[in-house]
A and B are shown apart, each in its own frame.
Chain A
Amino acid sequence: MEHTPMAHRPAAVAAGVHDNPFMKPMEWVSLALLAAVILVVLPILLDAFRLNLVGKYLTYAFVALGLVICWGFGGILSLGQGCFFGLGGYCMAMYLKLEASSVENTKIQSTPGIPDFMDWNQITELPWIWKPFQSLPLTLFLVVALPAFFAFVIGTAMFRRRVGGTYFAIITQAIAAILTILIVGQQGYTGGINGITDLRTLNGWDIRTDSAHNILYFVNGGLLIGCILFAQYVKKSKLGRILVAMRDKEDRVRFSGYQVASFKTFAFCMAAVFAAIGGAMFTLQVGFMSPSFVGIVPSIEMVIYAAVGGRLSLFGAVWGTLLVNWAKTSFSESFPELWLFGLGALFIAVVLAFPNGLAGIYRTYVEPRLTRKVKALAPAEARALPHGTPAE
Chain B
Amino acid sequence: MFGDYSLADLSAIFAMQGFAGLILFSVYLLMALGLAIIFGQMGVINMAHGEFMILGAYVTYLCSTFFQTYLPGLFAAYFFVAMALAFLASGALGMLVEWSLIRHLYKRPLDTLLATWGLSLILQQTYRTVFGAREVGVELPSWLIGSVQVTDTIEVPINGIFVMAVTTLITLGVAALMYRSRFGAQVRAVVQNRAMAGAVGIDTEKVDRLTFGLGCGIAGIAGSAFTMVGSTGPTSGQLYIVDTFLIVVFGGAASLLGTIASAFSISQTQSTLEFFLSGSTAKVITLLAVVGILMLRPQGLFTLKVRR
Asked if the two chains touch in their complex, CB atoms less than 8 Å apart, one says yes
When C-beta atoms are compared, the residue in chain A nearest to B48 turns out to be: A344
User: Is B121 an interface residue, CB under 8 A from the partner?
Assistant: yes
Cβ-neighbour of B129 out of A177, A337, A344, A347 (below 8 A): A337
Asked whether, in the complex, the Cβ of A341 is within 8 Å of the Cβ of B291, the reply is: no
What are the residues of chain B within 8 A of A304 when measuring CB–CB?
Answer: 114
Cβ-neighbour of A178 out of B241, B284, B294 (below 8 A): B284
Asked whether, in the complex, the Cβ of A351 is within 8 Å of the Cβ of B114, the reply is: yes
Chain A 173-192, CB-CB to B under 8 Å as 1, else 0, gives 11101100110110000000
User: Is A362 an interface residue, CB under 8 A from the partner?
Assistant: no
Cβ-neighbour of A348 out of B115, B238, B291 (below 8 A): B115
A: residues with CB less than 8 A from B are 71, 77, 79, 154, 157-158, 161-163, 165-167, 169-171, 173-175, 177-178, 181-182, 184-185, 296-297, 300, 303-304, 307, 337, 340-341, 343-348, 350-352, 355
Chain B 105-131, CB-CB to A under 8 Å as 1, else 0, gives 100111111110111111011001100
User: Is B49 an interface residue, CB under 8 A from the partner?
Assistant: no
Pick the 10 closest A-B CB pairs, nearest first. Answer: A347-B118, A185-B280, A344-B121, A344-B122, A340-B125, A157-B295, A344-B118, A351-B115, A348-B118, A163-B298
- Complex CA distance for A79 and B117, rounded to whole angstroms: 12
User: Is B209 an interface residue, CB under 8 A from the partner?
Assistant: no
What are the residues of chain B within 8 A of A352 when measuring CB–CB?
Answer: 101, 104-105, 115
Question: A347 with B291: in contact, given A174-B245, A177-B242 (CB under 8 Å)?
Answer: no
- Complex CA distance for A65 and B291, rounded to whole angstroms: 27
User: Is B249 an interface residue, CB under 8 A from the partner?
Assistant: yes
What are the residues of chain A within 8 A of B278 when measuring CB–CB?
Answer: 185
User: Is B281 an interface residue, CB under 8 A from the partner?
Assistant: yes
Interface SS of chain A: helix
B: residues with CB less than 8 A from A are 43, 45, 101, 104-105, 108-115, 117-122, 124-125, 128-129, 238, 241-242, 245-246, 249, 278, 280-281, 283-284, 287-288, 290-291, 294-296, 298
- Complex CA distance for A71 and B296, rounded to whole angstroms: 23
Asked whether, in the complex, the Cβ of A165 is within 8 Å of the Cβ of B117, the reply is: no
Asked whether, in the complex, the Cβ of B101 is within 8 Å of the Cβ of A348, the reply is: yes
Asked whether, in the complex, the Cβ of B284 is within 8 Å of the Cβ of A300, the reply is: no
Q: A251 → chain B, closest Cβ, in Å?
A: 9
Extra contacts besides A174-B245, A307-B114, A340-B124 (16): CB < 8 Å? A161-B296, A166-B45, A166-B109, A171-B294, A173-B242, A175-B291, A177-B287, A296-B242, A297-B238, A340-B121, A340-B128, A345-B118, A347-B114, A348-B119, A351-B111, A351-B118
What are the residues of chain B within 8 A of A71 when measuring CB–CB?
Answer: 110
When C-beta atoms are compared, the residue in chain B nearest to A340 turns out to be: B125
Question: A355 with B111: in contact, given A163-B298, A171-B295, A348-B119 (CB under 8 Å)?
Answer: yes
Asked whether, in the complex, the Cβ of A347 is within 8 Å of the Cβ of B115, the reply is: yes
Q: A165, A170, A177, A297: which has the most chain B beta carbons within 10 Å? A: A170
Asked whether, in the complex, the Cβ of A181 is within 8 Å of the Cβ of B283, the reply is: yes
When C-beta atoms are compared, the residue in chain A nearest to B281 turns out to be: A185
Cβ-neighbour of B119 out of A171, A182, A344 (below 8 A): A344
- Complex CA distance for A163 and B253, rounded to whole angstroms: 13
What are the residues of chain B within 8 A of A154 when measuring CB–CB?
Answer: 295
What are the residues of chain A within 8 A of B120 when measuring CB–CB?
Answer: 344
When C-beta atoms are compared, the residue in chain A nearest to B291 turns out to be: A174
Q: B129, B238, B281, B291: which has the most chain A beta carbons within 10 Å? A: B291
Asked whether, in the complex, the Cβ of B245 is within 8 Å of the Cβ of A170, the reply is: yes
- Complex CA distance for A15 and B242, rounded to whole angstroms: 52
Q: A192 → chain B, closest Cβ, in Å?
A: 10
When C-beta atoms are compared, the residue in chain A nearest to B122 turns out to be: A344
Asked whether, in the complex, the Cβ of B109 is within 8 Å of the Cβ of A350, the reply is: no
What are the residues of chain B within 8 A of A347 when measuring CB–CB?
Answer: 114-115, 117-119, 121
Q: A177, A303, A304: which has the most chain B beta carbons within 10 Å? A: A177
Asked whether, in the complex, the Cβ of B246 is within 8 Å of the Cβ of A170, the reply is: yes
Asked whether, in the complex, the Cβ of B298 is within 8 Å of the Cβ of A158, the reply is: yes
Q: A376 → chain B, closest Cβ, in Å?
A: 29
- Complex CA distance for A177 and B280, rounded to whole angstroms: 11
What are the residues of chain A within 8 A of B295 when measuring CB–CB?
Answer: 154, 157-158, 161, 163, 171
Question: A169 with B101: in contact, given A174-B291, A340-B125 (CB under 8 Å)?
Answer: no
What are the residues of chain A within 8 A of B110 when measuring CB–CB?
Answer: 71, 77, 165-166, 169
Asked whether, in the complex, the Cβ of B287 is within 8 Å of the Cβ of A341, the reply is: no
What are the residues of chain B within 8 A of A297 when measuring CB–CB?
Answer: 238
Q: B242 → chain A, closest Cβ, in Å?
A: 4
What are the residues of chain A within 8 A of B249 when measuring CB–CB?
Answer: 167, 170-171
What are the residues of chain A within 8 A of B104 when measuring CB–CB?
Answer: 352
Q: A162, A163, A178, A345: which has the most chain B beta carbons within 10 Å? A: A178
Asked whether, in the complex, the Cβ of B298 is within 8 Å of the Cβ of A161, the reply is: yes
Q: A161, A337, A347: which has the most chain B beta carbons within 10 Å? A: A347
What are the residues of chain A within 8 A of B124 when measuring CB–CB?
Answer: 340
- Complex CA distance for A186 and B121, rounded to whole angstroms: 29
What are the residues of chain A within 8 A of B238 when measuring CB–CB?
Answer: 296-297
- Complex CA distance for A71 and B111, rounded to whole angstroms: 11
18 A-B residue pairs with Cβ-Cβ distance under 8 Å, sorted by A, are A71-B110, A79-B113, A157-B296, A158-B295, A166-B43, A167-B298, A170-B249, A174-B290, A177-B287, A178-B288, A182-B280, A304-B114, A341-B122, A341-B125, A343-B118, A348-B101, A348-B118, A351-B112
Asked whether, in the complex, the Cβ of B280 is within 8 Å of the Cβ of A184, the reply is: yes
What are the residues of chain B within 8 A of A350 when measuring CB–CB?
Answer: 114
Cβ-neighbour of B291 out of A79, A169, A178 (below 8 A): A178
What are the residues of chain B within 8 A of A307 when measuring CB–CB?
Answer: 114
Asked whether, in the complex, the Cβ of A169 is within 8 Å of the Cβ of B113, the reply is: yes
Asked whether, in the complex, the Cβ of A346 is within 8 Å of the Cβ of B280, the reply is: no
- Complex CA distance for A303 and B117, rounded to whole angstroms: 11
What are the residues of chain A within 8 A of B125 when measuring CB–CB?
Answer: 337, 340-341, 344
Q: B122 → chain A, closest Cβ, in Å?
A: 4
Question: A171 with B109: in contact, given A347-B117, A352-B101 (CB under 8 Å)?
Answer: no
What are the residues of chain A within 8 A of B108 when measuring CB–CB?
Answer: 351, 355
What are the residues of chain B within 8 A of A296 when measuring CB–CB?
Answer: 238, 241-242
Q: B276 → chain A, closest Cβ, in Å?
A: 15
- Complex CA distance for A177 and B240, rounded to whole angstroms: 11
When C-beta atoms are compared, the residue in chain B nearest to A187 turns out to be: B280
What are the residues of chain A within 8 A of B109 when measuring CB–CB?
Answer: 165-166
What are the residues of chain A within 8 A of B113 when measuring CB–CB?
Answer: 77, 79, 166, 169
Question: A174 with B105: in contact, given A163-B298, A300-B117, A344-B120 (CB under 8 Å)?
Answer: no
